[in-house]
Chain A
Amino acid sequence: MTDINEKLAEILEVDTVNDSDVFTQFDEWDSLTSLSIIAMVDANYNTNISAEQLLSFTTVGDLKNYLNSKKS
């Protein structure tokens, strides 16, 4: 699941994204980036997350942990 950092970096328009980064701290964070992340998660991990759920994941790592738990 390393490439999710790359995909998130692309959506959030930064060079790199670390697991400890907080979503709402990104300059590009808004409802559109939120929807773009929801769409990316749906397309790549076949998992639906709501905008509310995404907000409950403070950091990139929190989202990854959730996706890992859905996979197993």
Chain B
Amino acid sequence: MNLKFKNKKITGILTVLPSKEVSFEDEMENYNFSKEQSAKLKKIMGYGSHRIVDENVCCSDLAVAGINYLIERGHLKKEEIDAIVMVTQTPDYIMPVTSILIQGKLDLKKDMYCVDVNQGCAGYLVGLHQAFMFLEQETVNKVVLVNADILTRKVSKKDRNSYPLVGDGASITIVEKDTTSPEIFSNIKVDGTNWDALMIPAGGMRLPISPETGVFQEDDKGNIRSKDNLVMKGDAVFNFVQTEVPPMINDLVTYAGVEMDTIDYFMFHQPNRFMLQKLADKMKVSYDRMPNNVVEHFGNASGVTIPTDITFNLGQKLCDNEYMVCLAGFGVGLTWSSMLIKMGKLDFCEMINY
């Protein structure tokens, strides 16, 4: 489905990452694989270290710290926040929604809209869509988009298939009305027939958590996890990304009426370096235009990888200059989405530690 937005602008991006950094080497012994196999995996997939929250930290803590940081520095005023869109798969509670917890913790005005969206790897795109739609309202001038996930909690430490690549983190993106902004083009597709390519089997109403769901079992590849843990069909996800993403970007540039070479940066969701390199090769885009270093430095925090990519690799450049940027997210659902947006002259574009 094609989507078009007018008079909207991203005015600032902040990434909040836990300060605790754990290296792949330190975790190798958790896995049922030889040192040689793990060294090879590290080299090919691009694993380095990932950021992990302390046990008592939840998504709302990261979000509140980030928003407070912006308020303290004068980038944001409490009373200006007309809506919070919170995108997470790891909410503080099943109920109530985390966006309203944030409203309460920050003592924001009651006259506002708060909504949580359960989305993963495409969560930055879906969150921006929601923020843009809120801005169609006369009463909404500024939306705070929060992306946050602490998935290391839900992935088994003995699952070499998934644990080395996940990380925790949050991002705060400010989205506002701007009558001078060029049109933003986007598209999105879903495929619920492949709902089980990437999922957490237990913990919902279909299969509540019980002592049985917590039993660890070894799969045919030597990974050990329980039904309470995230499970991913790596090959299916890989094939899905390589099959669906390049044509999606082709459709997007056709829809927007632009040429590929006018796009300065391809800031894509980063499952791991390997997948991004293969994608760049297939799309004939050079690696410097499609950075792939988020996972090796911070881990993959689902919807937070795109803002992390932007703040880490572009940072101050996005405050000083303007660029034509193509965003894309793809994963759980399955969901895949992309966006062509002129980004720049931001009020802030940085990352902080929690």
Alpha-carbon distance A24/B236, docked complex (angstroms): 20
A31 CB contact (under 8 Å) in B221, B239, B242, B281: B221
Number of A-B contacts (CB under 8 A): 42
B278 CB contact (under 8 Å) in A30, A39, A48, A49: A39
A51 CB contact (under 8 Å) in B33, B37, B235, B282: B235
> Given contacts A42-B278, A43-B278, A48-B243, is CB(A36)–CB(B44) below 8 Å?
yes
Alpha-carbon distance A22/B238, docked complex (angstroms): 24
B242 CB contact (under 8 Å) in A28, A42, A50: A42
CB <8 Å contact, B278 and A32: no
| In the complex, chain B residues whose CB is within 8 Å of the CB of A30 | 33, 37, 221
| In the complex, chain A residues whose CB is within 8 Å of the CB of B243 | 48
Alpha-carbon distance A24/B235, docked complex (angstroms): 17
A 16-40 contacts with B by CB, 8 A? 28, 30-32, 34-36, 38-39
B239 CB contact (under 8 Å) in A28, A34, A36, A50: A50
CB distance from A41 to the nearest CB of B (A): 10
CB <8 Å contact, A50 and B44: no
Alpha-carbon distance A34/B233, docked complex (angstroms): 13
| Size category of the binding interface on chain B | 10 to 19
CB <8 Å contact, A35 and B234: yes
CB distance from A46 to the nearest CB of B (A): 9
CB <8 Å contact, A38 and B37: no
| In the complex, chain A residues whose CB is within 8 Å of the CB of B242 | 39, 42, 48
B281 CB contact (under 8 Å) in A32, A34, A38, A43: A43
B38 — nearest CB in chain A belongs to which residue? A32
B281 — nearest CB in chain A belongs to which residue? A43
A sample of 24 inter-chain contacts (CB < 8 A) reads A28-B40, A30-B33, A30-B221, A31-B161, A31-B221, A32-B37, A32-B40, A32-B41, A32-B45, A35-B238, A36-B44, A38-B235, A39-B238, A39-B242, A39-B274, A42-B239, A42-B242, A42-B282, A43-B278, A43-B282, A48-B239, A48-B242, A50-B239, A51-B234
Report B's interface with A, CB cutoff 8 A.
33, 37, 40-41, 44-45, 161, 221, 234-236, 238-239, 242-243, 274, 278, 281-282
